[in-house]
Chains A and B, each alone.
Chain A
């Protein structure tokens, strides 16, 4: 059973600080890694994806991938109240026929 694990939270971060969200996965064959944001009552929307080890930056967001340790993280710099949402990690691999395996999500609360 391929698994993707996230701390359910809630993770409370003061406005302006860095929010750090983590995700671990069990399948060493995993190839693509996605971070989605889901506001309450809305559908998941893609924030960013990463394929290679290292960091990938997009504005205030940075995804970090470490395949040896089997974790992927999302950093949000200068956190804003509008970043308050649930963040879902998803991973795909050849073994899962390239389906996305989803984590349960981490609820992030940015306190003004």
Chain B
């Protein structure tokens, strides 16, 4: 079975550019989570969706961040404009429902110069 798929795996961009991260959850999973991980702050939940609907986006740092889930098999996290402090590893995870075991994708390592 395919796990959670994320793309790109690495992204290097310059400050001010738009960045789009993509995620395909495990088929049949109803909940999808976007996390950011840094050495300083650890694993932070940015937003999570249940049945394609955003349930809690209180972790989204600011208006520069937005996330969408147009269907059950695809989600995007967009940063516009990007800033150096956005440099981190961004993980997507999915589960059969909120609170159940979450399965993580390989992550996208973002570097903003």
Query: Chain A residues in contact with chain B, CB under 8 A?
Result: 31-32, 34, 42-46, 49, 88, 90, 92, 97-100, 102, 104-105
Contacts and interface: CB of A to CB of B under 8 A. Distances in A.
Interface in B33-53: 42-43, 45, 48
The 7 closest A-B pairs by CB, nearest first: A98-B99, A43-B104, A92-B99, A98-B98, A104-B42, A102-B43, A44-B104
A6 to B, nearest CB: 10
Nearest to A100: B102
A52 to B, nearest CB: 16
Interface of B: 42-43, 45, 48, 55-56, 91, 97-107
A43 B106 contact: yes
Given A99-B56, A102-B42, A46 B107 contact: no
A99 B45 contact: yes
Interface class of chain A by DSSP: strand
9 contacts: A44-B91, A97-B98, A98-B97, A98-B99, A99-B56, A99-B98, A100-B102, A102-B42, A102-B45
Contacts of A32: 99-100
A100 B99 contact: yes
Nearest to A94: B99
Contacts of B43: 44, 88, 102, 105
A97 B42 contact: no
Contact of B48 (A49, A88, A99, A104): A99
